[in-house]
Amino acid sequence: MNTSPSPSNISLAIIGGTGVYAFPGLERARRQEITTHWGAPSSPIVTGEVAGKHVAFLARHGESHAFAPHHINYRANIDALHGLGARRVIGVNAVGGIRDDMGPRVLAIPDQLIDYTSGRASSFCDADGEAVLHIEFGEPYTASLRRDLLDAAQRGGVAVVDGGCYGATQGPRLETRAEIARMRRDGCDLVGMTGMPEAALARERGMDYACIAVVANWAAGCGPDPEAPISLEEIHAHLAAATRRVPEIVNALLAG
């Protein structure tokens, strides 16, 4: 029996962020080198099966974290997954926590975002021949996929925060305390560098998209010790611990 995914049977695509360079437990895994009109995606796409469902996995920063947030070819990533037939995408994104209940190791399923990025190729309609799209984006994450993730987390016994506003910054540097204070006033609960334009591009391609935000650190000036510098060691330790729960949510989603 041929179990390779065809362009219609990928149930879910996962875009792994910092600390998530593979999806554990993929059966019949197969690496696919794909090129798109926009160039190559950040990594080969690994397809395989979980609970009998076809899954595609892509490492957003590349498998050895070669691409900084502003150098990621978001269009190639989304288009490669779309070309494989994926219509539901989960982005896993490392973030800093701003809101008091969004400390290190918290997982959150945000429901809003504010885009502070600049200069990124952020739409498919830049290219000749692509229709100009003014996508509806009032609700940037697909409500039904968010709901499914929240239900899956509950079934899988993984605590997640329901909702929150993701502020997407340009990076690659971390933010100043004043920038985070402004973002807090703007209504941001989380800060990360990779949430946009990924969410908008998925919407342009008509794909369902939701985010699992993994809190790696308190954002600058936040948390119990607001003047503490943010260390990379801290980020990696928290991410290593918290990202372990992500496959539990995804597996419950696929099994449900």
Does the footprint of ligand HPA cover residue 95 (CB under 6 A)? yes
| Closer residue to ligand HPA (CB): 92 or 94 | 94
Minimum distance, C-beta of residue 172 to ligand HPA, in the bound complex (Å): 9
| CB atoms closer than 10 angstroms to residue 121 | 16
Does the footprint of ligand HPA cover residue 191 (CB under 6 A)? yes
Does the footprint of ligand HPA cover residue 96 (CB under 6 A)? yes
Among 201, 217, 221, which residue's Cα sits nearest to residue 209?
201
Regarding beta strands 53-59 and 10-16, do their DSSP bridges make them parallel or antiparallel, or are they unpaired?
parallel
Does the footprint of ligand HPA cover residue 14 (CB under 6 A)? no
Angstrom distance (rounded) from CA 254 to CA 92 = 16
Q: Determine contact, residues 175/220, Cβ cutoff 8 Å.
A: yes
- Counting Cα atoms < 13 Å in the Cβ hemisphere of 177 gives 9
For 35, residues 6+ apart whose C-beta sits below 8 A from its C-beta are: 76
Minimum distance, C-beta of residue 191 to ligand HPA, in the bound complex (Å): 4
Minimum distance, C-beta of residue 126 to ligand HPA, in the bound complex (Å): 26
| Closer residue to ligand HPA (CB): 11 or 93 | 93
Regarding beta strands 107-109 and 27-32, do their DSSP bridges make them parallel or antiparallel, or are they unpaired?
unpaired
Count of residues in contact with ligand HPA, rule CB under 6 A: 13
- The phi, psi pair for 31, rounded to 5°, reads -90, 135
The residues in 24-83 that bind ligand HPA, with binding defined as CB under 6 A, are none
| Closer residue to ligand HPA (CB): 117 or 251 | 117
- Contact region with ligand HPA (CB under 6 A), list: 43-51, 89-97, 158-166, 195-203: 89-97
Using CB under 6 A, pick the residue from 26, 108, 188, 193 that binds ligand HPA. 193
Question: E strands within the chain?
Answer: 10-16, 27-32, 45-50, 53-59, 88-97, 107-109, 112-115, 161-162, 165-168, 190-192, 208-218
Does the footprint of ligand HPA cover residue 110 (CB under 6 A)? no
Among 128, 50, 28, 36, which residue's Cα sits nearest to residue 81?
36
| Closer residue to ligand HPA (CB): 95 or 106 | 95
| Closer residue to ligand HPA (CB): 80 or 94 | 94
Site string for ligand HPA, 201-220 (x = CB under 6 A): ---------------xx-x-
Chain residues that interact with ligand HPA, rule: CB under 6 A = 94-96, 169, 174-175, 191-193, 216-217, 219, 235
